[in-house]
């Protein structure tokens, strides 16, 4: 009996980050220790780098203790303080707690059926007007992606939307693209997504509102481009089915999805659920309002200066409120919240693990050395060249570390102050990171969302790449243009 050959399986983000900690620990024995002088605002002073006494880190201590110290921002037994002095970032516990509470908040909202009912209601209301369904649903999914990183939540809608699209004369790729491209562009252009923009901004020492204008432009223009791209393909298929990339599966798909659109599995869109969706949107509105420095902008609005602690309390309050409005009951609210937080436990843990990389670099006194090398390599480049090299660097990094939160945590302590040295606003570094990460996550084969959506649509990965490749190139050029112009303004 022959043994089944197992192909290579790409390691998880946890494993990658764990080995990265070990590699960095080795680096503290090899890379010269050094430091910049810093301003009162915590920004490195260009040209002030100087070497200091070496402080190599032990491998065992780095691998197992550094992530814990990174979470709490405490001193270790050598007296090293596990913070990044350029951003004033004292550990990741506030970010981790924010992620867990957001998970509970989303869990309770999903439990009420409000989001499912809202999207299903739109789908049914636009039946017979499928051209408009493409427009409306892609906007809805984009809003979900940009606000709370809607990803796994989309899997519930593929079968329903694909079935409606096939009944209207389109194909499975059209249905999958409505969901995956719509939500994907929203994540790519995350405006307030707590798992991308929120975490990256926090570790860059910024508020979520910093850089909002550029991200909003990418969101609006990118969504419009996505709608036109999907609509043109859909209409081409409707007029000539042989133009479909899955034409060879036409009869099979029609038979498979023909009985899938009217199963009554989605909840009714009641007045109660409409109120819940209003409260859901209000939570994000309050978060945005609370972090914008209105008075600094010359706008006479109250300036709250909230940070992760206050925002965590905000979503905890709205989670309880939505649970009460949804009449889930005390026990159901508690257990649903815990289940939702449990779904985000991996994200919270990866934030601490990724933060451990920074801890080892800081304690080993090599962070500023790496900055100095990068400064030397990029010296003479203008801001436009710098920001474009930055987002090009984030493309392979996004593939190696597919977790947006993990990538933000491990990279921002380096990239944000590097932007200071290059005279580039840190908010643009955040935008470059999330745009590159979002773009890669539209096609990465290690993503359960991508591969799960394609499996539900019965679409091969190669055919999806053929469909989406031109759109990927257009979106790439879009955010390159926005980033380049933003540097010049």
pLDDT (tens digit, 9 = 90+) per residue, 158-216?
887 888 888 888 999 999 999 999 999 999 998 888 878 888 888 888 888 889 899 99
Rounded mean pLDDT, 391-396: 87
Q: What is the pLDDT of residue 74?
A: 54
**Residues 163, 258: contact at Cβ < 8 Å?**
yes
Q: Mark residue 286 as left, alpha or beta (left: phi above 0; alpha: psi -120 to 50; beta: remaining).
A: alpha
> CA-to-CA distance for 337 and 276, rounded, in angstroms?
16
Supply the mean pLDDT for the chain.
83
Q: What is the pLDDT of residue 82?
A: 40
Higher per-residue confidence, 289 vs 219: 219
Q: What is the pLDDT of residue 400?
A: 67
Query: What does the domain layout of the chain look like in residue ranges?
Result: 94-343
End-to-end CA distance of the chain: 68
Confidence of residue 4 (pLDDT cuts 50, 70, 90): very low
Q: What is the pLDDT of residue 265?
A: 64
Higher per-residue confidence, 333 vs 364: 333
The encoded tokens of residue 132 equal 């408009």
DSSP notation for 59-128: HHHHHHTHHHHHHHT-B-TT--B-SBTTTTB--SHHHHHHHHHHHHHHHHHHHTTHHHHHHHHHHHHTTT
Q: Which of 122, 470, 407, 433 is nearest to 277 (CA)?
A: 122
| Residue 364 reports pLDDT greater than 80 | yes
Rounded mean pLDDT, 142-156: 81
> Which of 31-40, 195-204, 315-324 has the largest mean confidence?
315-324
Chain centroid to Cα 258, Å, comes to 34
Instruction: Write the pLDDT tens digit of every residue in 38-53.
Output: 777 666 777 788 899 9
Instruction: Look at 57-66, 259-268, 271-280, 299-308 and tell me which has the smallest mean pLDDT.
Output: 259-268
Q: What is the pLDDT of residue 90?
A: 47
| Residue 83 reports pLDDT greater than 50 | no
Instruction: Write the pLDDT tens digit of every residue in 89-99.
Output: 446 788 788 88
Confidence of residue 242 (pLDDT cuts 50, 70, 90): very high
**Residues 203, 87: contact at Cβ < 8 Å?**
yes
User: Among residues of the chain, what percentage have pLDDT more than 90?
Assistant: 32
Rounded mean pLDDT, 355-370: 82
Instruction: Write the pLDDT tens digit of every residue in 245-293.
Output: 999 999 998 887 765 444 556 778 899 999 999 998 899 888 878 877 6
Higher per-residue confidence, 287 vs 141: 141
The encoded tokens of residue 319 equal 């989670």
> CA-to-CA distance for 188 and 181, rounded, in angstroms?
10
**Residues 161, 202: contact at Cβ < 8 Å?**
no
Q: What is the pLDDT of residue 8?
A: 59
| Residue 84 reports pLDDT greater than 50 | no
**Residues 417, 32: contact at Cβ < 8 Å?**
no
| Residue 88 reports pLDDT greater than 90 | no
Q: What is the pLDDT of residue 2?
A: 43
The encoded tokens of residue 398 equal 């996004």
Q: What is the pLDDT of residue 293?
A: 65
CA contacts within 13 A on the Cβ side of 328: 26
| Residue 80 reports pLDDT greater than 60 | no
Rounded mean pLDDT, 314-339: 94
> Which of 29-33, 300-304, 442-446 has the largest mean confidence?
29-33
| Residue 73 reports pLDDT greater than 70 | no
The encoded tokens of residue 12 equal 């998880």
**Residues 444, 399: contact at Cβ < 8 Å?**
yes
Strands (E), 209-295: none
Rounded mean pLDDT, 367-388: 80
Confidence of residue 309 (pLDDT cuts 50, 70, 90): confident
Instruction: Write the pLDDT tens digit of every residue in 436-476.
Output: 999 998 988 767 688 888 888 889 988 999 999 999 999 99
> CA-to-CA distance for 123 and 102, rounded, in angstroms?
27
Q: What is the pLDDT of residue 419?
A: 86
């Amino acid at each position: 009996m022959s043994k089944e050959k197992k192909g290579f399986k790409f390691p998880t983000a946890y494993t990658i980050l764990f080995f990265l900690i070990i590699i960095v620990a080795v680096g503290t024995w090899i890379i010269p220790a050094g430091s910049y002088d810093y301003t009162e605002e915590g920004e490195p002073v260009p040209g002030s780098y100087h070497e200091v006494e070496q402080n190599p880190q032990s491998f065992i201590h780095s691998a197992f203790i550094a992530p814990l110290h990174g979470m709490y921002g405490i001193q270790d037994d050598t007296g090293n303080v596990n913070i990044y002095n350029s951003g004033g970032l004292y550990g990741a516990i506030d970010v981790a707690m924010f992620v867990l509470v957001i998970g509970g908040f989303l869990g309770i909202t999903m439990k009420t059926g409000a989001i499912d009912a809202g999207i299903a209601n739109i789908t049914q209301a636009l039946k017979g007007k499928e051209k408009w369904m493409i427009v409306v649903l892609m906007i809805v999914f984009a809003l979900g992606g940009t606000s709370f990183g809607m990803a796994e939540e989309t899997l519930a809608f593929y079968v329903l939307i694909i079935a409606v699209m096939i009944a209207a004369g389109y194909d499975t790729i059209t249905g999958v693209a409505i969901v995956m491209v719509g939500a994907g562009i929203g994540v790519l252009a995350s405006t307030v997504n707590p798992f991308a923009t929120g975490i990256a901004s926090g570790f860059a020492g910024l508020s979520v509102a910093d850089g909002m204008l550029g991200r909003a432009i990418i969101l609006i223009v990118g969504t419009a481009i996505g709608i036109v791209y999907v609509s043109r393909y859909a209409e081409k298929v409707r007029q000539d089915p042989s133009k479909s990339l899955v034409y060879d599966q036409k009869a099979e798909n029609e038979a498979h999805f023909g009985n899938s659109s009217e199963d009554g599995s989605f909840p009714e869109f009641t007045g109660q659920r409409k109120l819940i969706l209003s409260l859901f949107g209000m939570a994000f509105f309050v978060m945005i309002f609370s972090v914008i420095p209105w008075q600094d902008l010359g706008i006479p609005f109250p300036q709250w200066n909230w940070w992760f602690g206050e925002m965590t309390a905000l979503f905890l309050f709205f989670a309880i409120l939505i649970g009460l409005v949804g009449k889930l009951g005390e026990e159901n609210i508690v257990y649903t919240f815990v289940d939702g937080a449990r779904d985000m436990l991996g994200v919270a843990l990866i934030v601490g693990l990724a933060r451990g990389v920074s801890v080892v670099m800081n304690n080993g006194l090599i962070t500023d050395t790496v900055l100095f090398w990068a400064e030397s390599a990029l010296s003479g480049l203008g801001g436009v060249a710098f920001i474009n090299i930055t987002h090009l660097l984030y493309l392979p990094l996004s593939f190696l570390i597919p977790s947006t939160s993990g990538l933000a945590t491990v990279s921002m302590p380096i990239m944000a102050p590097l932007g200071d040295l290059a005279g580039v606003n840190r908010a643009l570094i955040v935008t470059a990171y999330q745009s590159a990460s979002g773009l890669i996550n539209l096609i990465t084969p290690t993503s359960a969302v991508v591969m799960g959506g394609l499996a539900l649509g019965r679409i091969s990965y190669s055919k999806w790449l053929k469909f989406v490749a031109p759109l990927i190139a257009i979106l790439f050029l879009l955010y390159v243009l926005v980033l380049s112009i933003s540097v010049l303004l």
